[in-house]
Amino acid sequence: MIPLRVAIDPFPISVPLVIRLQNDGPSEEGTAGVIHRGQGFVEYDVCGLSLTVRTPDPDALDGDVVLILPGQRSLHRLIRNGSPHNTFLVTEQCDQKCVMCSQPPKAHHVDLFDPFYEAALLGPYGTTIGISGGEPMLHKERLFDFLLRVQERRPDIEFHILTNGQHFDKNDEPILQRLDRARILWGIPCYSASPETHDDIVVKAGAFETLERNLALLGKNGHRIELRTVILNANVNGLADLSLYVTTHHPHISFWAIMQLEPIGYGRQNWGREFFDSSQNFDPIAAGVDIANIRGLETVLYNFPLCTVPEPYRRFCANSISDWKQKYLPTCSDCSAINRCTGFFEWYPEERGFSSVGAL
């Protein structure tokens, strides 16, 4: 597992600090250059102050944009150099309680939009930044302001924003028109064509109705949407109906991500009840994919190990598990498909997972 936090020695700051770490060259504004390497640590020059980072592998941090919060004994790797999986967690608050949530909501909120803005400006050219929560749109004024400010200074940066789609309204249209629609992809979940089933899964009455309205609002304003559906025992048999519904009522959806369950957070708590072993029965997923395919909706399967998917459907699989939480099993070392396969979540419970996994 790739660490997203790395230990540091106490560092005297009173406000959040964002810097890019670099091995070579003198420190300049926004960067910290290496001044000394020792056994298990490296020292950087931060505006004349020494920052000691405890790591056996300093080279792994070269080019990373990191955040240090006052009083904390670790740094946060906000943008890892060369990684396509960088996400800013903008809040842990949420108004839903989805049964598969990997990041269960918390009541407390810390506003870090300003450090995130500084980090985005220091990111590599053309980087994609994920925006996640909790529910980022609970703080939509701050989020919209952040996006507009970044797009003004760094029009090369792309955003993939995960939202439950509950908090748009007609008053947002002027801002939606100002945002760079070519560089923003909204990732929005819809779990069923049945309002009751969707509302049960997200544990919010009326959520489906609001979602429908806001999918239409985003479409009307020309925004790109990735529809996201985690398969569960609660919804898998309705996947064909959902496919029909989406392609009929929301033809502006850019593509559909059908996802296997992540065994963490509420997903771990509810694993026994909700994990659907698609290595044993792929038929309901195939039915959904087939309908979407015939009707021209591009479909991608996230978090499905290749050997758990029938051969004709492997072409829909993406290598989707973020690098920092991805693992492979011992059997994978003999597999010819390992470079194309998404593998497993670090916290995947093998003894309660797919019943059929094996090298291709």
332 binds ligand SF4 (CB under 6 A): yes
Q: Which of 34, 179, 234, 306 binds ligand SF4 (CB under 6 A)?
A: 306
Pick 237 or 319: Cβ nearer ligand SF4: 319
Alpha carbons 332 and 76: distance in angstroms, whole number: 31
Least Å from the CB of residue 333 to ligand SF4? 8
Count the residues of the shown chain that bind ligand SF4, applying the rule CB under 6 A. 16
Which of 150/307 has CB closer to ligand SF4?
307
Single residue of 305, 316, 317, 353 touching ligand SF4 by CB under 6 A:
305
The C-alpha atoms of residue 199 and residue 31 are separated, in whole angstroms, by 47
Residues 25-64, one symbol each (x = binds ligand SF4 by CB under 6 A, - = not), give ----------------------------------------
Which of residues 45, 93, 337, 347 is near ligand SF4 by CB under 6 A?
Answer: 337
Question: What residues contact 337, with CB distance under 8 A and at least 6 apart?
Answer: 306, 307, 360
CA angle, 245 as apex, 243 and 249 as ends, to 5°?
125
CB of 327 to ligand SF4, least distance (A): 10
To ligand SF4, the closest distance from the beta carbon of 319 in angstroms equals 10
- CA-closest candidate to residue 78, choices 91, 93, 61: 61
When asked if residue 317 is in the footprint of ligand SF4 (CB under 6 A), the reply is: no
Residues whose CB is less than 8 angstroms from the CB of residue 294 and which lie 6 or more positions away in sequence, other chains included: none
Please answer whether residues 278 and 324 qualify as being in contact, where contact means their C-beta atoms are separated by less than 8 angstroms.
Answer: no
Q: Would you count residue 318 as binding ligand SF4 (CB under 6 A)?
A: no
Q: Which of 341, 345, 348, 353 binds ligand SF4 (CB under 6 A)?
A: 341
Nearer to ligand SF4, 21 or 301 (CB): 301
Considering only the stretches 58-66, 125-133, 203-211, 327-335, report the one whose residues sit in contact with ligand SF4 under the rule CB under 6 A: 327-335
Q: CB-based contacts of 110: which residues, under 8 Å, 6+ apart?
A: none
Q: What are the residues whose beta carbons fall under 8 Å from the beta carbon of 348, sequence distance 6 or more? A: 263, 327
Question: In angstroms, rounded to a whole number, what is the distance separating the alpha carbons of residues 343 and 348?
Answer: 10
Residue choice 30, 331, 352, 356 for contact with ligand SF4 (CB under 6 A): 331
Selected range binding ligand SF4 among 32-40, 180-188, 241-249, 330-338, rule: CB under 6 A: 330-338
Q: What residues numbered 91-130 form the site for ligand SF4, per CB under 6 A?
A: none
Single residue of 213, 233, 338, 346 touching ligand SF4 by CB under 6 A: 338
Residue 177 or 356: the one with the smaller Cβ distance to ligand SF4 is 356
- The DSSP code for 327 is E
Residues in the chain: 360
Give the number of other CB atoms < 10 A from CB of residue 172.
19
Residue 89 or 357 having the CB closest to ligand SF4: 357
The helix-helix angle for 283-294 and 239-249 (nearest 10°) equals 20
101's CB contacts (< 8 A; 6+ apart) are 94, 265, 266, 267
Under the binding rule (CB under 6 A), the answer on residue 307 touching ligand SF4 is: yes
- Nearest approach, Cβ of 311 to ligand SF4 (angstroms)? 11
Cβ contact 163:143 at 8 Å: no
**Pairwise CA distance, residues 103 & 264, whole Å:** 8
**Site for ligand SF4 contains 357 (CB under 6 A):** yes
Return the C-alpha torsion angle 341, 272, 165, 294, nearest 10: 50
Minimum Å distance from CB 346 to ligand SF4?
A: 14
* Interface with ligand SF4 (CB under 6 A): 305-307, 328-329, 331-332, 335, 337-338, 341, 343, 357-360
